[in-house]
Structure 1
Amino acid sequence: MLTAILSHPVTALTCLLVLAVVAVNGWTDAPNAIATAVCTGAMPFRRAVGLAALCNLLGLGWAVAFSPVVAETLFSIAGFGADVPAARSALCAGLCAVVLWSTAAWRFGIPTSESHGLAAAVTGAALALPGGTVHPGPWARILLGLALSVCLGWLAGRLFRRALTLLRPSPALCRRGQVGGAAAMAFLHGAQDGQKCLGILLLGLSLSPVLPQQRIFSIPLELTLLCAGVMAAGTALGGRRIIDTVGREMVCLSPRQGLAADLGGGSCLLACTLLGLPVSTTHAKTAAVLGAGSRADRRVAGRIALTWLFTFPGCGLLGFFLAKLFLFGS
């Protein structure tokens, strides 16, 4: 399959842009999974990054093998009309919008959701086409997952904090527990975000003249391994700015509170993944950190919430206007 993709330049460019989104996701989104473990001293930064890269890879493989519902949701999020060349241009524009938005957020150290940005940008790009449509079913699952991840993440972080306060584990035991918590968070990040990128990759291939069979949703093994490897490589780049914002600037966490945040965010991601709901690791983990922490910096938390609020319209409009620009240029 990879040979067929490389034989068609436009298809190869589309896949390259999807892989750029995957790499940026691993670079800027995956650090949320290990932020608390690094900031409480449970793991050194480089070791935590290596652990996250490995667990991202394993998580995507597990999700594709047992529950690829999230990938199918992103695959069917929007209709691009009957003009296939224009549809390919619009999809490429949407992917460029995600990379631009995510890189800008990383520059300012703000944890944003690439997965929700991806959904918005691809939908905005589709609507720039004369025959573009929005499919309400997949979007309903995305919005339900968004609301559930924020509420459940905060509540789970708060409940685990209270439970650990009653149990009073030692700081050393909490730090050891955070290693497992960081691994679980990174695993579930791969299961969630890796699937979304795979869904968009398959959407791009469905528009390819050399792979018409991909119009029926299926996930080839080689594409799974490719996305997992690129996400792991992106994660290995670090994302230190995001870690500092979540684990140090927004709230100061003790080892016990850090473990509560890991358990809260992980349980939220696991529940939503098993339900087949697309959710953001950023939203779930940040909400869990706020629920588990004792004193949050309202200025930093407000800046993060404002970025979340503008992600859907911002990425959607950016995808729309870039698609118009790409179509005008062609």
Structure 2
Amino acid sequence: MAMLLVVICTALVFEYINGFHDSANAIATVVSTKVLSARTAVIYAGCLDITGALLGTHVASTIGQGIVDAGIVTQGVIFCALLAAVIWNLVTWYLGIPSSSSHALIGGLIGAAVGRAGFGVVLMDGVTRKVLLPMLTSPLLGFCIGLGAMVGILWICRRARPYVVNSWFRRLQLLSSGIMALSHGSNDAQKTMGIITLALFSYGALESFKVPVWVVLLCACTMGCGTMTGGLRIIRTMGDKMIKLKPVHGFAAETASASLVLTASHFGMPVSTTHIISTAIMGVGSTKGHRALNLSIIKNIVTAWVLTIPVCMAIAATLSFVLPL
């Protein structure tokens, strides 16, 4: 029982850091365009994160049952996976680099399970269909839909005066950033729900893999509180350093991203909201010409994306060998 409580507490720490680390996904653009202050934006996003987390448990089921064989998962495996993800999130937050909390958790879970029982425990069909395929396609879709949305807006508003367009999209960006926060909660909060439910199932506290209501509420509130603290380092990277945004750009990027994330949540796919919003911003920014994009920052972001899963696998596998769990 003591180890189960430790795992649940560690999962909630991860959930809080996930909200803290990924708050930039929802509010970086609305803060950088000065539509909302950082403090108001994180509170707004936190409330909608909580609402989004209550929309379903499809992603939680994928994390808990579709990545590794649940029969070999112990409390120690889950603890090592969570600890690896927490370490990676804190390192990337300190460096101000947007990285995927989702892929950190998935990499940690795979690494800890492999370290304990070998590669045979990995459910390759589930990993391929619901992790690797979305990981490769969602950033590309984010870029293309962001680009398409921005081109469409520019064409529609081609005869409007710039100050009129700016005024309208300042209002519309309040809506788009809220939907983005809602979509973030609908996908990211469920990952920790799945991990806690997996821990309860492996302990024997649940007869079948079904996410308890109290787990949904606890994870939703924890992520919301984390989002409300706001990781300003990453907000600056995405909202200012990567490209200079105006409200119309923020609206296009957020709308494109939210549509993709909500679709993925509906089908139980644990996608990276960080990857999607980052590439949507790149797509939107490309309409200003390639010189508008800060390529050195983008290079750092892409490097972190590539490294997240293998590094977290290595950390978790090492922890599973070192810690007597």
Bin the TM-score by the shorter chain: over 0.9
Amino acid at match of 2:298: A
Give unpaired runs (5+ residues) of structure 2: 158-163
| Aligned residue in 2 for 1:72 | 61
1:308 matched to 2:305? The reply is yes
What amino acid maps onto 1:95 in structure 2?
L
C-alpha distance in 1, partners of 2:177/2:137? 21
> Matches of 2:177 and 2:212 in 1, distance apart?
29
Hey, what's the Cα distance between the residues in 1 that align with 2:35 and 2:206? 49
Report the equivalent of 1:174. 169
Which residue of 2 is the match for residue 17 of structure 1? Answer: 10
Asked if the contact 1:56/1:231 (under 8 Å) is kept, the reply is: yes
Provide the secondary structure at the position in 2 that maps to 1:129: helix
1:135 aligned to which of 123, 126, 137: 123
Q: Which range is displaced more, 25-34 or 164-173?
A: 164-173
Count matched residues: 311
Amino acid at match of 1:154: F
Question: Aligned equivalents of 1:225 and 1:120: distance in 2?
Answer: 25
Question: CA-to-partner distance for each residue in 1:81-126, whole Å, 9 max, x for gaps?
Answer: 55x7xx2112211111100000000000001101111001011000
Structure 1 Cα separation of the partners of residues 263 and 99 of structure 2 = 21
The equivalences for 1:21-40 within 5 A come to 21-40=14-33
The amino acid of 1:121's aligned partner reads: G
The 2-side partners of 1:276 and 1:238 are apart by 26
Distance in 1 (CA, whole Å) between partners of 2:256 and 2:71 is 41
Structure 2 Cα separation of the partners of residues 221 and 276 of structure 1: 18
TM-score by length of 2: 0.92
Q: Distance in 2 between the 1:144 and 1:80 partners?
A: 22
Q: What SS is found at the alignment partner of 2:99?
A: coil
What does the per-residue CA deviation read over 1:221-272, in whole Å, with 9 as the maximum and x for residues that have no partner? 1111100010011111111111100010011112211111111111221222
Are the equivalent residues in 2 in contact too, given 1:34–1:48 (CA < 8 A)?
yes
Task: Answer yes or no: is 1:146 the counterpart of 2:135.
Answer: yes
Question: Equivalent residue for 2:252?
Answer: 260
Cα deviation, 1:264-286, whole Å, max 9, x if unaligned, reads 11122122223332211101100
Distance 1:138 1:166 in 2: 41
CA contact (8 A) 1:149 1:272 kept: no
| Residue number in structure 2 paired with 1:193 | 188
* 1:130, distance to aligned residue in structure 2 (A): 3.1
1:89 aligns with 2:46: no
Whole-angstrom distance in 1 between the partners of 2:269 and 2:176: 21
**Residue 242 of structure 2 contacts residue 297 of structure 2 at CA under 8 Å; is this kept in 1?**
yes
Shift of the alpha carbon at 1:69?
2.0
8 Å Cα contact 1:74/1:138 also seen in 2: no
Contact 1:158 1:288 in 2 (8 A): yes
1:120-131 residue pairs with structure 2 within 5 A? 120-130=107-117
For residues 221 and 273 of structure 1, the distance between their equivalents in structure 2, rounded to whole angstroms, comes to 18
Opposite residue 68 of structure 2, the aligned amino acid is A
Superposition deviation, residue 80 in structure 1: 5.8
**Equivalent-residue separation in structure 2 for 1:207 and 1:258 (angstroms):** 43
Q: Does 1:110 align with 2:97?
A: yes
Residue in structure 1 matched with residue 201 of structure 2 by the alignment: 206
Give the aligned partner of residue 119 of structure 1. Answer: 106
| Letter paired with 1:171 | N
Q: Is the 8 A contact 1:33 1:281 kept in 2?
A: no
Residue aligning to 1:3: none
Residue identity opposite 1:252 in structure 2: K
Map of 1:298 onto structure 2: 295
The alignment partner of 1:124 has SS state of helix
Give yes or no for contact 2:110–2:122 (8 Å, CA) kept in 1.
yes
SS of the residue 2:54 aligns to? helix
TM-score, scaled relative to structure 1 = 0.91
CA-CA distance at 1:79 after TM superposition: 2.4
SS at 1:126 equivalent: helix
Q: 2: CA distance between counterparts of 1:31 and 1:297?
A: 18
Say which is worse superposed, 299-308 or 272-281, in terms of deviation. Answer: 272-281
Q: Take 1:80 and 1:271, find their aligned partners in 2: how far apart are those partners?
A: 26
What is the rounded CA distance, in whole Å, between the counterparts of 2:71 and 2:178 in structure 1? 41
Asked if the contact 1:80/1:126 (under 8 Å) is kept, the reply is no
Runs (4 or more) in structure 1 with deviation over 4 Å come to none
Give the whole-Å Cα distance in 2 for the aligned partners of 1:150 and 1:238: 23
